[in-house]
Amino acid sequence: MLDTILGALDTTSVFVFLLVFLIGYYWLTSPKNMPPGPMGLPLIGNLLQLRAAGSNQLELLKKWRQQYGDVFAIRLGSKNLVFISDYKILQETFVKNGDIFSGRPSNLYIINQIKKKTGTGVILSEGAIWKELRRVTLMTMRDFGVGKKSLEQRVLDEALAVVEVLEKGEGQPVLFKPLLSKFACNVICSIILGDRFDYDDKTFIELTKLVNLAVSQPLVFAPVNFLPITRFAPAGKKIIHDVVDSFVTIDNFLGTVLKEHEETYDPSEIRDFVDFYIKTRSDSDDAHLYDASNMRRVIIDLFAAGTETTATTLSWILLYFAAYPEVQTRCQQDIDKVVGQGRSATMDDRKNLPYIEAVITEIFRVVNIAPVAVPHVAVKEGKIRQYTVPAETIVIGNIREIHLDPVNWPEPDIFKPERFLDKDGNFCPPKENFMPFSIGPRACLGEVLARMETFLLFCTLVQSFTFVMPQGQKPDLQGQFGVTYSGKPQPFLAKRR
């Protein structure tokens, strides 16, 4: 009996000692003068709270912002994360102090696996490599038509291909996201590879599926990044497999395509992005920066960023049309008045379509396709207002909270395009508290292209169709949080005007 009691005491003592040790270790290893935030548990930090929030993680971030202020910190495993929910503070951090806070996470498991197997590209690289690849990528996209008439016609041709698909299936409910992904992916293909795919091409269908799968998971908060034991659980294995294998398969596909380009390359006749990249490598003293791995990764970055965000934005626009038929009707009236039915809308028409510009801008604001910015990392110790942020801290722009802040946006949850029009009906683009493509040197590379695609396909579809839900159904405007905030799969109708 005594032995049993002593044994129990020993076990209890060991347990209490370990608990006290872990709490002490957690406290001692927590950086000092960090922003306030919710208390976490030893070893796992705030992972359980995020896990318990399930599909409401964005609402949890909102709650923490309300409790702890515009700058708050959480801990996931041993990693420190700082969230910024104020435009001016984010501008100071990502723009004014961009040299300190423009790193990328190098200690997240999934990111490391992707980098190990497919390279860094632009989005995941840092330092001199990132600056050079970013410069070349922007220069090449500009030279191959981004923001110019040559690319505008490619986008219009692709928009008409979408119209053709919808005409063939008129009267049948359509899941629009896959179709819009093909549209956006084909525009990228025309820039990068100099060609487009038929929408029923098996290779192309698989490519768009892989791109969507690669960016469908909320990687920022995935436990596998922060708690090694979760990588062996079925859910952990699945997310690693889905994301990493998707990137690897896309990388292999591009390897085959790029090999064909290398074999047919002619420096006197530059056909597309890939040829320009090859030429840059040949002319550069730093050819190692432009190796095949980096080339493939840069292209994957363009596919991932350019396809998912554009397709998601356009999907939301059509869903909001079904939910707000009066907005759709006014857009149709404006298109009919300015463009008519005898030609396609062009970028020159933007200045004469202020309400459509306001609708697109309000979709960006109220939906928040990218609710949190791609994570930045402090490359060295820095300051965010009065707080000291150690090197390797992950810093995230809480864009959704900025876009839905009632201080800056009256009735922020209400869809109201008129907020971007003046009393004379002219479009008033927001000058601050608005950043759908993030800000600073790490802002989205494809913003100009995405805006062009969105405007031209928007106008083409409004000119051609009326979008409605099947009889008896209502649109669900609650989304799903992955890399982007996408709408739930809901088929609806495109009725020819």
In angstroms, the first-to-last Cα distance of the chain is 88
Q: Which residues contact 242 (CB under 8 A, 6 or more apart)?
A: 213, 214, 216, 217
User: Would you tell me how many other CB atoms lie within 10 Å of the CB of residue 316?
Assistant: 24
Looking at residue 495, the DSSP 8-state letter turns out to be: E
Specify the length of the chain in residues.
497
10 Å CB burial of residue 306 (0-12, 13-18, 19+) is: buried
| Residue located via tokens 């423009």 | 102
Residues annotated in a binding site for heme: 444
**Nearest of 359, 317, 355 to residue 334 by alpha carbon:** 355
Residue 47: its H or E element: helix 47-53
In this structure, are strands 394-397 and 79-84 parallel, antiparallel, or unpaired?
parallel
Look at residues 459, 460, 458, 490 and name the one whose alpha carbon lies nearest to residue 473: 490
Residues tagged in the binding site annotation = 444
Note every long-range contact of 349-355, with CB atoms under 8 Å and residues 24 or more positions apart, other chains counting: 349/459, 350/455, 353/459, 354/421, 354/425, 354/426, 354/427, 355/330, 355/331, 355/417, 355/421, 355/425, 355/427
Contact 418, 324 (CB under 8 A): no
Distances (CA, A) of 34 to 102, 196, 382, 492: 19, 50, 11, 48
Residue (of 383, 370, 390, 386) closest to 439 by Cα position: 370
